[in-house]
Chain A
Amino acid sequence: MCMLNRRSFLKRSALAVVAGAAMPTILRRGVAAAQNDSQAAASNRKVLIVVQLKGGNDGLNTIVPYTNGIYYDLRSTLAIPQAQVLPMDNEVGFHPNMAAFAPLWDEGHFAVVEGVGYPTPSYSHFVSMDYWETAVPNSINKNTTGWLGRYLEQLDVATLGAVPAMNVGRHLPPEFQSTRVSISTVDSLDAYQFQEDPRYQGISDARFGALHGLYTTPSGDPAMDQLLGGAFQSALDGSIAVKEAHAAYTPAVTYPTSNLAQDMLLLAEAIHFNKDLKVGHVALGGFDTHANQLADQGALLLQFSEAVTTFWDDIVAHGHGDEVVIMTWSEFGRRPKSNASDGTDHGSAGPMFLMGNSVVGGLYGQRPSLTNLDKGNLKFTTDFRSVYSTVLEDWLGVSAKEVLGGSFEKPLLIANSS
């Protein structure tokens, strides 16, 4: 079923060099990727892994202000009992289901930025997600590219390598939206392979060759060519890379069976084998807890923390601990006062997490007041673009101004910035 493998790919690449100008794009990139492999200059590479918590994660029940009586007043039925909170300091602590993060926190590689948001918050999932994804708040414009897409555009697009970024999931996150870079989005390993007609294998080459030609021939509509042709090329490159990586990889730890953990395993494989990988992205949905929050959010936080720490332990065991920073985000926090359905409604500011050997662990940003509210919602204290700026400049090493279109004060939470 799986038609392509590295050997035939490289063999074709080598021959294609002879063919010269007629060489399709994939082969030029394939050759470049192979050269990168041989150089193996991966020691100072910087990979960003983004974990999205979709639906608006309730920050107050994630990083719990367990010594603040106001919290317990506002959250009558929903508060996390003080005795269950895992204290980070004398004021806040982890939700009990996030115990898996304790070692990273104790080692000083887990940072929390509190009160992250943006001016004039939107309480709509889609609008607020759009703001975070484009990093252009307060302007809804379908055609704005994603901030991670713009980051990749900052690099030399011609030398990006076959799979510079990878999302695990069925839909491409808008963060990766770009007019020039096409990102692989991998649903699952098995599904992510081109299939052939088993009865007529003899003509598979001609068939796939003709199809490939269709996707690389300009149609007169450049935007459509980029959309469809870019996606096809990315699927071709990615399907080979992902399959070969998975076959060759042995996890150092046992991954949980949750979707998020299995998705992150694919990212670990990509980090290990694909030296070109710059950004990985996964998402966990279900945080829109208007009702039944304690059970629902608790289960999600458990899945989240176990998946992320397993992934972390695995990449550290594979020697990539210094190469990776993990960043989490959610489109908004939730309202401090719970509703009558044992849930919380859409709110504003919430915490972001960063993890990695280069991350200086601790609490950052100003904790929003639970009494000085804006129509019942928290007032944000750190613009999310500040955190993006830190990641872009102090980790990925590009100009945040170019990507974000402005300068933002940076929390200094990355050590040894280069």
Chain B
Amino acid sequence: MASTQMEPSKSPAMENSKLTRRQLIKGASALGLSAAILGPLLAACTRVEDTMIVTPLSTPPSLPTATLFSTPISPPSFASSPSPTPTIAPISKPNAASPLQSLPTTIPTPSPTATPPPTVTFNLTERQKIAHLLRRAGFGFTAAELNRAEGMGLAATIDELINFESVDNSDLDKHIAAAGLDFELPPEMRRWWYLRMAYTKRPLQEKMTLFWHGILTSGHKKVADIPKMSAQNELFKQKGMGSYQTLLEEIGRDPAMLIWLDSRSNNKKAPNENYARELMELFTLGPGNYTEEDVRESARAFTGWGLKRKEGNPKGVFYFRDFQHDYGSKTFLGETGDFDGDDVVRIILKQPQAARYITTRLWEFYAYEDPESEVIDKLSAVFVSSGYAIRDVMRALLTSPEFYSDRAYRTQIKSPITLVVQTAKALNLTVSTKRMSNLALRMGQILFDPPDVSGWPGGAAWVNSSSILQRVNMANFIAKSLTETLTRQELVDLLLDGVLDPAMEAALDYFESETRGSSRVGVSRGLTYLMLGGPGYQRG
């Protein structure tokens, strides 16, 4: 540091002493839920043996022999297995009496539906379609839930998913009450949501909440206020299937969002553009469909939308700070006037791109990436003509033939959360919600803490060497937790829709032949590991 310091042409501002980091205000117990122990989950479930504490073993933990890679996995036998179609393998036992159907069900036998199912032009069986539907529009199924839905038929299952208000969900409330969660702790807030996802009878409501949590997202890391994060979740739960316009109007006033995207400090004198920008880029239009000028002008329209402190609610509730609002004229997306935030939403929704943007996001979340433009044409037409009714567009989505096509069926990389919850449900496991949360975290997803304002990127972004290793380790954790000995066929039915592709068949054959004479439990656990840890199960 040899150079000498010169006088500045003007004197620098005085040191600012008030700039210490704001104290995180502890979340109030506004939800009225207290106590600290998570109660028993599904009473009827298989109990899970807690094998997480791995004690030192007498044998060395490394793979001792050379047999692992040299001869046994003879790639010839794997690779040369015929792979008839690159897409959906032929269904091996389409409607044969599977072990699943011998399990107790609430509705007796599947009779073909009373109402005809939506026309689909692809080759899934009814059972596969329903399994696919329950995975995408919910969090998978227990054997009993799948059998029940198959008994109802596809159309009735869609109806029940969409019109969930009529479904009795009181069991879930009992689970939550029994859990006795302490809402002052962020981990318990996550466990609360895992309970909901695992035990709800209104799965689409929760899945839609998860969708909006990834779009109109906020993160606890910055918001640092549990009641506000929970209130935002409640907003998605209550309004997530209603009017998109209403949802946008309310998210702009949502206290967690006001903190997350800095609206609370968006003032007339120095507008903070964060919310206005993300409203267009991430919530409604997508990049390239507005100008920087539109960002600046709409930020002015949102000035004054802030928070007011209130007793028992330290960071406050929504409050329009009139004196901070810019009442001047703004020009936004070609219109001029003294606009406020609701006007901005209204003008955005006039853009044809708005319907295309959000229906594309919905399709990518529920079905597959890069949808055909005809699919989006159709969905956005439904969306616009319904006056932005999300429920209508979801019905159109879930009844689209493309939703049941080979582009959709078992093609989507499962998010860590859906992977964890689906697996626990399928195997009817009592995995503690704390464990679920930790497993998902290691695979790269933390509820209420998205990586950034664009939520979770999803799809291929879930896969990297670290996350795939964690997925395989999750398979190990689940497998070694099993005490019940499930047969190979039972596992295939539960985990792979009854379909064995040639590679998996070869792998299972190889494993069984190598372990002939070994403990049945050990082999069953090994088969579970292979099915859960293999590449096929990572897609759902």
The residues of A with any CB-CB pair to B shorter than 8 Å are 1-5, 7-8, 11-12, 15-16, 18-19, 22-24, 26-27, 66-69, 72-73, 75-79, 81-82, 85-91, 102, 105-106, 122-127, 140, 170-172, 182-187, 191-221, 224-225, 227-229, 231-232, 234-235, 238-239, 290-296, 337-343, 345-346, 375
Contact = CB atoms under 8 A, between A and B. Distances in A.
Contacts of A68: 8-9
Contact of B529 (A72, A88, A197, A212): A197
A75 B480 contact: no
B495 interface: no
B75 A217 contact: yes
B34 interface: no
B535 A79 contact: no
Contacts of A4: 62-63
Nearest to A120: B292
Contacts of B76: 22
B522 interface: yes
Contacts of A225: 535
Contacts of B452: 125-126
Q: Is the interface of B mostly helix, strand, loop or mixed?
A: loop
A1 B8 contact: no
Contacts of A228: 463, 468, 535, 538
Contact of A16 (B63, B70, B501): B70
Interface string B470-483: 10110011011000
A296 B22 CA distance: 10
A72 B511 contact: no
Contacts of B270: 337-340
A194 B272 contact: no
B316 interface: no
27 contacts: A8-B64, A8-B66, A12-B66, A24-B75, A66-B5, A67-B5, A87-B1, A88-B1, A123-B277, A126-B281, A140-B287, A170-B467, A195-B476, A195-B477, A197-B480, A199-B522, A203-B526, A206-B514, A206-B515, A208-B68, A209-B510, A211-B529, A214-B503, A224-B539, A232-B468, A294-B19, A338-B270
Contacts of A292: 19, 21-22
Given A191-B466, A220-B83, A22 B507 contact: no
Given A209-B510, A291-B265, A197 B522 contact: yes
A292 B57 CA distance: 52
Given A185-B464, A231-B467, A341-B272, A200 B518 contact: yes
A170 B10 CA distance: 46
Nearest to A345: B273
Contacts of B451: 171
B427 interface: no
Interface stretch (B125-133, B353-361, B381-389, B453-461): B453-461
Contacts of A338: 270
Contacts of A339: 265, 270-272
A378 to B, nearest CB: 15
Contacts of A106: 1-2
